[in-house]
Homo-oligomer: A and B are copies of this chain.
Amino acid sequence: MLKLSSSQPDFAERLKALLAFETAQDPAVDAAVASICADVHHRGDAALVEYTNRFDRMQAQSMADLTLSRAQLEAAWQRLPAEVRDALSAAAERVRRYHEKQLAHSWSYEDEDGTLLGQQVTPLDRVGIYVPGGKAAYPSSVLMNALPAKVAGVAEIIMVVPTPGGERNDLVLAAAYIAGVDKVFTCGGAQAVAALAYGTETIPQVDKITGPGNAYVAAAKRRVFGVVGIDMVAGPSEILVICDGDTDPDWVAMDLFSQAEHDEIAQAILLCPSSDYIARVEASIAKLLPAMPRRAIIEASLGNRGALIQVRDLAEACEIANYIAPEHLELSVAEPDALLPQLRHAGAIFMGRFTSESLGDYCAGPNHVLPTSRTARFASPLGVYDFQKRSSLIRVSQAGAQKLGRIASLLAHGEGLTAHARAAELRLDGGAEPQS
């Protein structure tokens, strides 16, 4: 595992190299996705069934074979052990309660002329949730995508989830059940994204698509962006741990593992002022790694993209964190609140030694769909605000039209837009034409 120190003269370059990740869009993937999207757009269900049979080794005759009813979701829920049902329910309840705090409300005010200005906030009508299938099928992701939409008041939630070889995941379907998903179709890939974006005979067109997926799904989301809304194009997952050197090193080692076990290209980095503590974390890594079922993935991830970095102090650690703008930022320090004002960019901040990232992944309440690859510089966690939108409200009084009309007329003539100016001037008392 790479070891760096911020005092090295080439530290900035080495940090940049560590974070570098080839996000270039593969032209071959793009071309395949363009063709799949166009085909589903024009041939609808027939194309969707064909691609699903081909890519997911299915033998569907029609969309009926790719459609799950609420009753089938409920049956999956009932098949789960009671303790798992309880855990899912408890997680859903906490996630729902947290997201209720994010609800935006319509607002307006009147100015001195009686002119009303404001915004009307409304939910999206219908959203599509993409849930990956196979080994990366995560019921927690179903909750994290569906519940904010539900809290926002979205009337209909459509989920797509591929079932390669026909294998269905009860946990995923049960999560869809308690999250209130309305319809589930067992398809995935670019073809499922296109079906949601354009609609088919069976799948209704949605207004926005959220949820992670592979390179084909990401390329398809980018392509249909504008026809529908999309959440973000997710990169590999990352954690940055800032530790003051007083947390049990086993805890920090396991937190790094919990990121690394996602994927060979996941990234786990530790920042700490103490070289002695870094050595203790290294020892914990060596001790704990052999027992991990996903040992090979963890080893590859830590070896390729992980790092233990010695910093001057916690203030410098915060500066580096702002540059990295990590998806997950753990403040494993005595006084995490004191660091908050220095932190500008992070998807989620896990404060204090007891706050392992994994608690946030499942059940603390906040969303686990977070901006990756430095996009926390400009993007936010998935939230209720992603499922609401705003319409400006403007109701100009007759008095207001006199004052605003003169300003608008002048500026419109300045832009050479005479009809804009005349529309304002016609509302002036007497329909005067001050400028033309």
Residues 372-414 (chain A) with a chain B CB within 8 angstroms: 373, 375-381, 383, 385, 389-398, 400-401, 404-408, 410-412, 414
What sequence of 0s and 1s flags, for each residue 57-97 of chain A, a beta carbon within 8 Å of any chain B beta carbon? 00000000000000000000000000110011011000000
A257 within 8 A of B: yes
- A124 / chain B contacts, CB cutoff of 8 Å: 377-378
- A sample of 7 inter-chain contacts (CB < 8 A) reads A119-B381, A122-B344, A345-B391, A348-B392, A356-B426, A359-B424, A361-B420
- A364 / chain B contacts, CB cutoff of 8 Å: 115, 117, 394, 396, 404
Q: Which of B140, B228, B260, B378 contacts A415 (CB 8 A)?
A: B140
- A394 / chain B contacts, CB cutoff of 8 Å: 348-351, 355, 359-360, 364-366
* A227→B23 CA distance, assembly (Å): 9
Residues 258-276 (chain A) with a chain B CB within 8 angstroms: 258, 260-262
Evaluate contact between A354 and B389: CB separation under 8 angstroms.
no
A324 within 8 A of B: no
Q: Looking at chain A's contact residues, is the secondary structure mostly helix, strand, loop, or mixed?
A: mixed
- A135 / chain B contacts, CB cutoff of 8 Å: 416
Instruction: Name the distance in Å between A340's Cβ and chain B's nearest Cβ.
Output: 7
Residues 132-185 (chain A) with a chain B CB within 8 angstroms: 135, 137-140, 171
A130 within 8 A of B: no
Q: Which of B348, B365, B383, B414 contacts A139 (CB 8 A)?
A: B414
A225 within 8 A of B: yes
A207 within 8 A of B: yes
Instruction: Name the distance in Å between A424's Cβ and chain B's nearest Cβ.
Output: 5
Residue of B nearest to A391 (CB): B346
A interface residues (Cβ-Cβ under 8 A, vs B) = 23, 25, 83-84, 87-88, 90-91, 98, 101-102, 107, 109, 115-120, 122, 124-125, 135, 137-140, 171, 207-208, 222-223, 225-229, 232-233, 235, 248, 250-251, 254-255, 257-258, 260-262, 292-294, 298, 329, 336-337, 340, 343-367, 370-371, 373, 375-381, 383, 385, 389-398, 400-401, 404-408, 410-412, 414-424, 426-427
Evaluate contact between B101 and A107: CB separation under 8 angstroms.
yes
Q: Which of B138, B347, B354, B391 contacts A392 (CB 8 A)?
A: B347
* A291→B160 CA distance, assembly (Å): 55
Contact status of A117 and B88, CB under 8 A, knowing A355-B395, A408-B359: no
- A298 / chain B contacts, CB cutoff of 8 Å: 419
Contact status of A414 and B292, CB under 8 A, knowing A23-B227, A419-B257: no
